[in-house]
């Protein structure tokens, strides 16, 4: 499963960079409601947010535009969290019949949050590789980027193995899943004091 997931993330990243525009509409190539479509959509959100984070760091950006982008990033963060929780719901359903007991251990993160890390890692790999292709930088820059890229590739291997092991452990009842909603407060007008003080 993990290699298919990586290929879906890489396809999303490649598709995004055909246009390289944060306003380009999502065109998901996978069947609606499928796990593949969910993974593709998840990474697309990450890819758009990656570039929004780049844009907002422009020292010459208009402050009004920066505020718009900051609020868009807030919305994107909520969408990202919602997608992860939706993906965890898929895994909860997938493993609902697996027998565990009181001594079965929990993992520090759920499968979907591990996939979230993998999605971001694939973006790091892609963009570091782009740095290696630059011709307007020093050899030292290329060397440093090569070293970082090598580390990222090793992280991809290690994280892939860890996710596969986690899924196998859950499937075999050696670990159990428990999902806690993130309960983000800053977007909730009932929980953010800056927002509810205005009411």
- Hunting for tokens 């609020």 — which residue is that? 71
| pTM score of the predicted model | 0.91
User: Tokens in use for 37?
Assistant: 């479509």
Positive/negative CA dihedral, 97, 98, 99, 103: negative
Residue-wise pLDDT for 184-194, tens only, equals: 677 677 877 87
Residue-wise pLDDT for 139-148, tens only, equals: 999 999 999 9
Residue-wise pLDDT for 79-114, tens only, equals: 999 999 999 999 999 999 999 988 899 998 999 999
10 Å CB burial of residue 108 (0-12, 13-18, 19+) is: exposed
User: Tokens in use for 10?
Assistant: 């890489």
Q: Which of 86, 83, 85, 92 is nearest to 178 (CA)?
A: 92
Residue 112: CB atoms within 10 Å: 22
Residue-wise pLDDT for 27-67, tens only, equals: 999 999 999 999 999 999 999 999 999 999 999 999 999 99
Structural domain boundaries in the chain:
2-196
146 with 125: CB under 8 angstroms? no
Residue-wise pLDDT for 126-163, tens only, equals: 999 999 999 999 999 999 999 999 999 999 999 999 99
CA dihedral 73, 78, 79, 84 (to 10 degrees): 130
Give the per-residue pLDDT at 179.
Answer: 78
């Amino acid at each position: 499963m993990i290699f298919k997931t990586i290929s879906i993330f890489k396809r999303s990243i490649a598709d995004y960079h055909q246009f390289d525009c944060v306003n380009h509409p999502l065109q998901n190539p996978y069947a609606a409601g499928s796990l593949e479509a969910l993974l593709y959509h998840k990474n697309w959100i990450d890819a758009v947010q990656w570039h929004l984070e780049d844009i907002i760091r422009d020292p010459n950006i208009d402050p009004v535009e920066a505020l718009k982008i900051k609020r868009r990033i807030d919305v994107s963060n909520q969408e990202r969290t919602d997608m992860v929780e939706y993906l965890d719901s898929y895994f909860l359903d997938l493993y609902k019949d697996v027998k565990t007991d009181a001594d079965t251990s929990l993992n520090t993160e759920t499968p979907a949050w591990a996939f979230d890390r993998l999605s971001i890692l694939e973006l790091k790999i892609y963009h570091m590789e782009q740095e290696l292709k630059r011709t307007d930088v020093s050899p030292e820059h290329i060397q440093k980027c090569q070293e970082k890229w090598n580390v990222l590739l090793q992280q991809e291997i290690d994280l892939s193995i860890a996710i596969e092991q986690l899924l196998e452990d859950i499937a075999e009842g050696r670990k159990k899943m428990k999902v806690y909603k993130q309960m983000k407060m800053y977007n909730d007008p009932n929980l953010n004091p800056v927002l509810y003080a205005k009411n």
